[in-house]
Amino acid sequence: MDVELLTSYEQTQLGQRQTLPDDYLRLPDAEMEVRIAEAKKVLGDRLLILGHHYQRDEVFRFADVTGDSLKLAQQAAAHQTAEFVILCGVHFMAESADVLTGAHQKVILPDLAAGCSMADMAAIDQLEVCWSELQQLGATDVIPLTYINSTAAIKAFCGEHGGTVCTSGNASTILAWAWDRGEKVLMLPDEHLGRNTAFGMGVALDQMVVWDPHLPDGGVTRTELERARLILWKGHCSVHTRFSPQQVLQFRQQYPDGRVIAHPECTFETVQAADESGSTEHIIRVIAESPVGSVWAVATEIHLVHRLAHQLASTHNVLTLDALGCLCSTMFRVSPNHLLWILDGLVAGEIRNQISVPPEVRTWARVALDRMLATTSKEI
């Protein structure tokens, strides 16, 4: 894979970022609401706005389709009449949407600075070095598996080397698929999703090792590697790792009959302390289907928790596990101001902040995603 091409691509994306004009920063909320609605009406079926669960409500309410990252990418591909797909989320999601959509569709990210710290923890050059060092350490029967929260370049590497992609909802199914094809699995970039999922499948903790891309040979000995079934990349979500077992204990002291549900990107200790664990779609479903009067503490991004609390206020008591609230700051970058600016550009015939994955990367990333879709249709 051409690292120079990828580096150039990333630099181009950053270079295309335009500063939001000052007049958009000063607009009243009521005016933006009216103008966004008018622009959507003008563009009609040519436009599809996708909103991730972690988006702020001011943006989320304008979405035509809502959900998690892969669901949004699949919906983009399913709406073939949509010439313009605005993805209100972060960069890796827009890349996945671009990989799965048709050549006639343009995928747009309202703010190119909306990235993902977890995805940034696995760079393509680090993965290539890791792969070479694993071979040198004798680990030759390895299947690479990446969480969907990763760059298109990482997905493409996995596709090119016999691997695939997983979501937090289908990780156990995809891990089983990978172990059917190789002795070991290299899973990146989130070590916690990998550890929690594998442990739930019966894999012992001493059969897992953590590969630190900043250390020689990943900081792993040959003996440790020989014993391991799962090689976890040292990466994490800055939001979900803020939750702790101590917070679970404090909640139980205040609400003895309450229950705790945690996203699998949380640490192993937090997930073990919780009553339930699962993807955002799982969290929504479990709480909504629980008995009336249930009290829940939720360990995931604060916008989703607040939205659930509001929607179920008459039947359930839904709280965040972290009293200070865990905000995804990069998701928060997408604002109604950015959305309106993008829409005004489209009405005027100008496409701003288009996400275009290079052909070589797109091809292999599509292979990786298609392998996952062929294995399971379960969504995060």
Task: Give the mean pLDDT of 346-358.
Answer: 96
Q: Is residue 254 part of a domain?
A: yes
Place of tokens 């192993």: 268
List, for residues 153-164, the tens digit of each pLDDT value.
999 999 999 999
Q: Are 208 and 198 in contact (CB under 8 A)?
A: yes
Task: Give the mean pLDDT of 211-219.
Answer: 97
State whether 299 and 345 are in the same domain.
Answer: no
For 325: left if phi > 0, alpha if psi spans -120 to 50, otherwise beta; the answer is: left
Higher-pLDDT residue of 329, 49: 49
**What's the CA gap between 115 and 140, in Å, rounded?**
33
State whether 7 and 109 are in the same domain.
Answer: yes
Q: Provide the β-strand partners of residue 84.
A: 47, 106
Boundary residue ending a domain (280, 300, 320):
320
Q: Are 83 and 104 in contact (CB under 8 A)?
A: yes
State whether 306 and 334 are in the same domain.
Answer: no
Lowest average pLDDT, out of 68-82, 223-237, 239-253, goes to 68-82
In the chain the first and final C-alpha atoms are separated, in Å, by 29
Beta strands in 234-292 (DSSP E): 259-262, 276-277
List, for residues 15-63, the tens digit of each pLDDT value.
456 689 999 998 999 999 999 999 999 999 999 999 998 899 999 999 9
Taking residue 314's Cβ as centre, other Cβ atoms within 10 Å add up to 6
Place of tokens 């343009």: 106
Amino acid at 270: T
Q: Is residue 229 part of a domain?
A: no
The per-residue pLDDT for 323 is 81
Q: Which two tokens stand for residue 140?
A: 């030759």
State whether 315 and 345 are in the same domain.
Answer: no
* 7-36 core/surface letters (b: 16 or more CB in 10 A; e: else): eebeeebeeeeeebeeebeeeeeeebbebb
Place of tokens 């052909």: 359
The per-residue pLDDT for 377 is 60
Task: Count how many residues are written for the chain.
Answer: 380
Boundary residue ending a domain (298, 320, 342):
320
Q: Is residue 8 part of a domain?
A: yes
Q: Are 296 and 276 in contact (CB under 8 A)?
A: no
Q: Which of 31, 77, 27 is nearest to 50 (CA)?
A: 77
State whether 22 and 112 are in the same domain.
Answer: yes
Q: Write the CB contacts of 329 (distance below 8 Å, at least 6 apart in sequence).
A: none
State whether 313 and 338 are in the same domain.
Answer: no
The per-residue pLDDT for 17 is 60
Report the CATH number at residue 30: 3.40.50.10800
Whether the ω angle into residue 144 lies within 30 degrees of 0, i.e. cis, is no
State whether 44 and 91 are in the same domain.
Answer: yes
* 347-366 core/surface letters (b: 16 or more CB in 10 A; e: else): eeeeebbbbebbeebbebbb
Q: Provide the β-strand partners of residue 47.
A: 84
Round the average pLDDT of the chain to a whole number and report it. Answer: 92
Q: Is residue 270 part of a domain?
A: yes
State whether 292 and 349 are in the same domain.
Answer: no
Q: Is residue 42 part of a domain?
A: yes
**What's the CA gap between 109 and 13, in Å, rounded?**
11
State whether 308 and 370 are in the same domain.
Answer: no
Q: Is residue 175 part of a domain?
A: no
Q: Which of 17, 5, 175 is nearest to 91 (CA)?
A: 17
Q: Is residue 136 part of a domain?
A: no
Domain of residue 36 covers 3-116+330-375
The per-residue pLDDT for 10 is 47
Number of domains forming the structure of the chain: 2
Q: Is residue 41 part of a domain?
A: yes
State whether 349 and 367 are in the same domain.
Answer: yes
Confidence of residue 314 (pLDDT cuts 50, 70, 90): very high
On the question of pLDDT at 100 being above 50, the answer is yes
